[in-house]
Amino acid sequence: MHQPSLSPSPETAATAQDLEVEVHVWIGTECRAIYKIPPGVYLVGSDPSCHLRIDAELVERMHARLSFFGHRLFIEDLESHGGVFIGGIPLNLPTPVQTGTEIHIGAARLLIHFAEEVRSQIAADLEDPSLGLATIRHELAQEPHQVTGTLGEGGMGLVLRARDHRVHRSVAMKVLRSGNEFSADKLLRFVSEAQLTGQLEHPNIVPVYQLGVASDGQVFYTMKHVRGETLESVLQKLRTSDVETARQYPLSALLTIFQKVADAIAFAHSRGVIHRDLKPANIMLGTFGEVLVMDWGLAKRLAETPTLPSDSSPTAPEISLPTEGRFNTLHGAVVGTPPFLSPEQADGLATLDLRSDIFVLGVILYEILCLKPPVHLHNTEQVIEAIRTGKLFSLAERIRTPGEHGEPPPPLIHCPNGKLPEGLAAVVQKAMQHAPANRYQSVEDLQKDIVACQNGFAPAAEEANWFRQLQLLLGRRRREAVLVGCFLVLSQLLLTYFLGRIAADRKMLRTSESALGESNLELKSANQRLEQIVYQLRNTADSNYKDALTQLRQRKPSQALAQINLALVGVADSPRTQARYLVARGHANTQLGFYSEALDDYRQAAHLFPGCIPFDEIETDLSRALDDGFRPPEGWGWEKIDVPIPGKPKQPPKLPAATPAPAATPSPRPLKPTP
């Protein structure tokens, strides 16, 4: 071992001060070197150029940096692979080091020692009157707490309300009851409670601020002063059907509180700690939504060896039932508070595990649901015996069973529709199974089932069938279910309406078909009669035509028109025959002065039998007649044309040359007399 005295690096030389710090380098059980360093910056590593050279395993060339300035020593990791550790925790930033601190660098340990004259010099410098710190130091040197009242009491200690003068806040101070401070066992349990609670840093576990000894020798610890009420107080108000409490704490809000309590217990279990005294009276509800699990005085680490009770410890003392209907916490073989005990606690078993807390969580959830514990609270022995043997009321029984004094069970005004939720009842039943192996095996499993119930699903403990699953699905999708129901009803109404319309239409169709059948019969009969008439007309068509020609020669155009119309009705399909009849009707219309109708007849005839008549000449003459009404007294020459009979062609007779008409102006048509 050597004792070199180092100077700071020239780049970071400190102001001249007669201060030195000793750095002891240990490798295994041997102190290899002691460095005395004045203020400055020093490199630590295995490289020969380092100020503090350490030749040990896992120590890198440039491993760490020591900085000594302003009465403070800092250690900094230079991003080494091995790291720098204090108390087993790796350092990420420059960290101040106090005297006696042990620093691990690779396989080496550094112990820091400030000499007495250094500490004295630092204290003298800090108490320099010119700094103006005397008033503040005097205030901080006074008694830190002032008791201002009592918040509560338990079997072993008191919880006081106190004022913390140093940080100016109200705190809860727990102290031992008078006389208990002289018991080593109770004092050790008290200190263990403070230390264990302080180590359980969780938002739902009451935080511990300070553990200490007051000026009068009283051991105390302070914790957060929670302003609010206990869960027990809330449940008591619900038992009395307090409407305002039911509005503020419906079942959904109570389940949220329960989940936060379960979060705290799950965290404690992850740290190997069981509570052993869970109950609504130990759950504080803050004014601003805080939920804190209190009183960890009976908490126990699972790795601890169980402490056997002394002969004088009561196993199940006879305790009168308090006015609020609850027992005090028991100590000894039976640890906890009836009825919030697991069967293992009721049996006085020392080897408890986390499933004991899970059972009690089930009891708390039981009371949240039906506002009553699962057993009548007559006396401690009966309660413990009922828990030990598993003779507890089911939830369905409890909501119908009268109370201890025959009073009716309280109405479930905090539950939806005043009814017990089936899913949560199954969760309680599984959590409170008598055999630990049949319960939930972790708080997380219990919480998952409660979350399933809160979200409208069936918990695993319920083992719901398909009908129950469908019922829950409709409950989760209530709006969609209503819309689907309305759609189905509307669809049914529309279907009924359209089916009725179809039936009515079918009936009308059958009626129409019947009428149509009758009409078809009548039409058939009429067609038969018409066919007979047409047949007769066809047989008489040629004679009617000949009669029409005779009437034309006799200048009887009206009779001729009637006869030729009959002939046209019965005419055959021969175009020549139709053309001949049309020419005859054109002659009749011409004689009657119906020049437009006559022109149509001639046009049809010329179309059916081209060349049978001089249509151009006829059209010219009739057009003139239509314009001025002129017609030769003896008629036009083409009026004597007759269409030959088919199969018997004959030349039309030669017409004499037309004599030019005198130049006399035709006489105008007579005017109608004016009335």
Same-domain pairing of 71 and 200: no
pLDDT at 675 over 80: no
- Per-residue confidence (pLDDT) for residue 519, from 0 to 100: 87
Whether residue 269 sits in one domain with residue 297? yes
**Does 336 score more than 90 pLDDT?**
no
- Same domain, yes or no, for 92 and 30? yes
Q: How far is CA 609 from CA 12, 577, 579, 602, 620, in A?
A: 135, 9, 6, 10, 19
CATH number of residue 300's parent domain: 1.10.510.10
Q: Contact 423/462 with Cβ under 8 angstroms?
A: yes
Out of 92-96, 228-232, 646-650, which region has the weakest mean confidence (pLDDT)? 646-650
Last residue of a domain, one of 127, 161, 188: 127
> Is residue 347 included in any domain, yes or no?
yes
- Average the pLDDT over 315-331 and give the result: 42
Q: Catalytic residue among 77, 263, 277, 621, which?
A: 277
Task: Tell whether 666 is covered by a domain.
Answer: no
> What number of other Cβ atoms are within 10 A of residue 394's Cβ?
15
What's the CATH code of the domain at 107?
A: 2.60.200.20
pLDDT at 211: 93
Picking from 127, 155, 173, the residue at the C-terminal end of a domain is: 127
Rounded to 10°, the helix 354-370/422-431 angle is 150
Instruction: Name the strand (E) or helix (H) holding 494.
Output: helix 478-553
For the ranges 363-367, 398-402, 465-469, the lowest mean pLDDT is seen at 465-469
Q: Classify residue 525: in a domain, yes or no.
A: no
The count of domains in the chain is 5
In a domain, 421, yes or no: yes
Q: What does the pLDDT read at residue 14?
A: 38
For residue 491, give its domain range. Answer: 465-504
263 catalytic, yes or no?
A: no
pLDDT in tens, 134-147: 777 777 777 888 89
189 and 244 share one domain? no
Say yes or no: 193 and 342 in one domain: no
Asked if residue 414 lies in contact with residue 255, where contact means CB atoms within 8 angstroms, the answer is no
Q: What is each CA distance from 73 to 7, 309, 412, in whole angstroms?
A: 15, 50, 65
In a domain, 585, yes or no: yes
pLDDT for the residue 290: 93
Is the model more confident about 123 or about 221? 221
Burial of residue 548 (number of CB atoms within 10 Å: 0-12, 13-18, 19+): buried
Model pLDDT for residues 533-574, shown as the tens digit of each residue: 777 777 778 888 888 888 888 888 899 888 888 888 777 668
389 and 350 inside one domain: yes
The predicted structure's pLDDT at residue 318: 34
196 with 264, same domain?
no
Last residue of a domain, one of 70, 97, 127: 127
Q: Are residues 91 and 187 in the same domain?
A: no
pLDDT of amino acid 92 = 87
Domain membership of residue 3 (yes or no) is no
pLDDT digits (tens, 9 = 90+) for 416-464: 888 888 889 999 999 999 999 999 999 999 999 999 888 887 787 776 6
Mean pLDDT for 568-597 is 86
51-60, 219-228, 252-261, 623-632: least confident range: 623-632
| In a shared domain, residues 206 and 237 | no
Across the chain, what does the average pLDDT equal?
82
CATH classification of the domain holding 597 = 1.25.40.10
Between strands 169-176 and 102-105, the pairing is: unpaired
Kindly tell me if the per-residue pLDDT of 356 is higher than 80: yes
Query: Quick one: CA dihedral 256, 258, 264, 270, positive or negative?
Result: negative
Q: pLDDT band at 4, cuts 50/70/90?
A: low
Based on the domain organization, do 251 and 320 belong to the same domain? Answer: yes
Q: Are residues 111 and 188 in the same domain?
A: no
| Calpha distance 179→156 (Å, rounded) | 10
Q: Measured between alpha carbons, how far is 120 from 118 in angstroms, rounded to an integer? A: 5
Task: Tell me how far apart the alpha carbons of residues 167 and 144 are, in angstroms, rounded to a whole number.
Answer: 9
Is residue 428 situated within a structural domain? yes
Bridge-based pairing state of the strands 108-114 and 84-86: unpaired
pLDDT band at 52 (very low <50, low <70, confident <90, very high): very high
Residue 160 belongs to domain with CATH number: 3.30.200.20
In this structure, are 307 and 417 located in the same domain? yes
- Does residue 295 sit within a domain? yes
CA distances from residue 336 to 52, 279, 441, 508 in whole angstroms, order as listed: 57, 9, 21, 86
294 compared with 568, residue with greater pLDDT: 294
φ and ψ of 157, to 5 deg: -145, 175
